[in-house]
């Protein structure tokens, strides 16, 4: 039995979790800083770093109390070491290294994107490979072929804004506050998704995405139609994003002969995206897996789960491993 402490501080969630053998979550504590950043309309890196510094110790303590473990029970300490905000990453990485030294246990640095991929497997360990994972977050939009543990191939990505960024920017423009994804998701339930026809660029061109033109289309529409219902605009925008995401995920799944489609990242919490993805999987006779909303957004259970797999395949990280704001997933060709 291996008890792993996971730490996640790459953006604006301060999180700690205790996971046993890669899939038994004993505690998964997330302290969101959303309220701290909301008045600025987005994450302020300096504020995020300072908040992690004061929140991390109590969050780790809470996770350990909730899990009923003490420091002698922890076998491995893991933390996200990139990509993300440098000041935020450094807090988690430094804390993890200090604990690893103090408790005399291995330290493992985890790639935040890989952790999002493992969030899906954490709740559904029996998924068959190859899997098509659509990672849609505030910073990234990627279609990834998950061939086996540690083996990923990039099939498509956004050429400009990430899907979550598009949600956040459009919500901000519509005065719906921050974070925009959940606000648009909620308001869309009251609107007509067919009211306005927005089509994202590159819909029918391969597996890459482009979302910045869609945001501009919304802005132009609102300028020309100042009396349009905000709920209709939100619902139509969301329908366009979900349409292009599911269309390309389906294409990618066909291309690689995927046994299933998994969603990952914050935007995977979107109700419309979840529903449409499942519809596709049922129609195509493949598995569909939607992690719980808590597992879609940033958390530390996914970090500890990834550390379990990393521990078996590569062993611990050196203690001079740094925080890397631009860390990439090691894709194979
Ligand atoms: O993965 P995540 O928690 O953080 C990173 O970016 O790594 O993703 C956050 C993003 C934000 O852009 C937020 O607006 C979006 O996920 N999001 C959603 C929903 N919940 C969160 N987007 C659409 N619908 C949602 N329900
Ligand atoms: Zn994330």
pLDDT tens sequence across 299-312: 999 999 999 999 99
Percentage of residues of the chain with pLDDT beyond 90: 85
Tens digit of each residue's pLDDT (9 = 90 or more) over 136-183? 998 889 999 999 998 999 999 999 999 999 999 999 999 998 889 999
CA 213-217-220 angle, to 5 degrees, is: 135
- pLDDT tens per residue, range 47-92: 888 989 999 999 999 999 999 999 999 999 999 999 999 999 999 9
In a domain, 121, yes or no: no
Quote the pLDDT of residue 34. 80
My answer on whether 140 and 235 are in the same domain is: yes
Is 123 among the domain residues?
A: no
CA separation, residue 104 to residues 27, 77, 78, 311 (Å): 22, 10, 13, 16
Q: Which letter, b or e, does each residue of 160-195 get, where b requires 16 or more Cβ atoms within 10 Å of its Cβ?
A: bbbbbbbbbbbbbebebebbbbbbbbebbeebebeb
145 in ligand 1 pocket by Cβ < 6 Å? no
297 lines ligand 1 (CB under 6 A): yes
Same domain, 133 and 250: yes
> Ligand 1 pocket: which of 111, 137, 180, 193 to mutate (most atoms <8 Å of CB)?
137
Q: Mind listing the pLDDT tens digit for each residue in 271-281?
A: 999 999 999 99
- For residues 28 and 14, the answer to whether their CB atoms sit within 8 Å is no
Residue 320 domain-assigned (yes or no):
no
**What pLDDT is recorded for position 127?**
82
Cα-to-centroid distance, 165 and ligand 1 (Å): 8
Q: Are residues 40 and 110 in the same domain?
A: yes
- Is the domain of 95 the same as that of 150? no
Q: Residue 49 falls within a domain, yes or no? A: yes
Of residues 43 and 228, more confidence is placed in 228
Q: Are residues 151 and 243 in the same domain?
A: yes
Q: What is the CATH number of the domain that holds 243?
A: 3.30.420.40
What's the domain range around 257?
129-294
The string of pLDDT tens digits covering residues 12-25 is: 889 999 999 999 99
Whether 99 and 213 map to the same domain: the answer is no
In a shared domain, residues 280 and 150? yes
Residue 330 belongs to some domain of the structure: no
* Number of structural domains in the chain: 2
Q: Tens digit of pLDDT for each residue in 27-59?
A: 999 988 788 887 777 788 888 889 899 999 999
Cα of 104 from ligand 1 centre, angstroms = 36
pTM of the model: 0.92
Higher-confidence residue of 321 and 13: namely: 321
Same domain, 169 and 94: no
190 and 290 in a common domain: yes
Q: If you measure from the C-alpha of residue 28 to the centroid of ligand 2, how many angstroms do you get, rounded to a whole number?
A: 15
Within this chain, do residues 12 and 157 fall inside the same structural domain, yes or no? no
Please indicate, yes or no, if residue 39 is contained in any of the structural domains. Answer: yes
Shared-domain flag, residues 59 and 161: no
* pLDDT score of 35: 80
199 inside domain: yes
Confidence of residue 234 (pLDDT cuts 50, 70, 90): very high
Cα dihedral across residues 173, 199, 133, 139: positive or negative? negative
CA dihedral sign, ordered 263, 55, 178, 185? positive
- CA 321 to ligand 1 centroid distance, Å: 28
163 and 290 share a domain? yes
Nearest ligand (C-alpha, residue 139): 1
Q: What is the dihedral of CA 143, 146, 150, 151, to 10 degrees?
A: -90
């Amino acid at each position: 039995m291996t008890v792993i402490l996971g730490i996640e501080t790459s953006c604006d969630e301060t999180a700690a979790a205790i996971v046993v053998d890669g899939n038994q979550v004993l505690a998964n504590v997330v302290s969101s800083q959303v309220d701290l950043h909301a008045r600025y309309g987005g994450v302020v890196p300096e504020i995020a770093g300072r908040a992690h510094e004061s929140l991390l110790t109590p969050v780790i303590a809470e996770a350990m109390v909730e899990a009923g473990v003490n420091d002698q029970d922890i076998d491995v300490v893991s933390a996200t070491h990139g990509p993300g905000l440098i000041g935020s990453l450094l807090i988690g990485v430094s804390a993890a290294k200090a604990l690893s030294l103090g408790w005399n246990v291995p330290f493992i640095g985890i790639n935040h994107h890989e952790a999002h991929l493992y969030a899906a497997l954490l709740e559904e360990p029996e998924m068959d490979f190859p899997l098509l994972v659509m990672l849609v977050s505030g910073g990234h939009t990627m279609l990834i072929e998950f061939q086996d543990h540690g083996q990923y191939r990039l099939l498509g990505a956004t050429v400009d804004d990430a899907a979550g960024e598009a949600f956040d920017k459009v919500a901000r423009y519509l005065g719906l506050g921050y974070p925009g994804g959940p606000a648009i998701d909620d308001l869309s339930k009251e609107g007509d998704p067919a009211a306005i026809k927005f089509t994202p660029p590159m819909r029918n061109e391969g597996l890459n995405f482009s979302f910045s033109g869609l945001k501009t289309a919304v802005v132009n529409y609102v300028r020309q139609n100042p009396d349009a219902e905000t709920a209709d605009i939100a619902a139509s925008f969301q329908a366009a994003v979900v349409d292009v995401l599911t269309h390309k995920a389906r294409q990618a799944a066909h291309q690689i002969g995927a046994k299933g489609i998994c969603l990952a990242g914050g935007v995977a919490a979107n109700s419309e995206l979840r529903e449409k993805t499942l519809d596709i999987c049922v129609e195509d006779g493949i598995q569909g897996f939607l992690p719980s909303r808590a597992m879609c957004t940033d958390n530390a259970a996914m970090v500890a789960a990834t550390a379990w797999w990393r521990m078996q395949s590569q062993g611990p990280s050196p203690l001079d491993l740094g925080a890397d704001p631009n860390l990439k997933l090691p894709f194979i060709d």
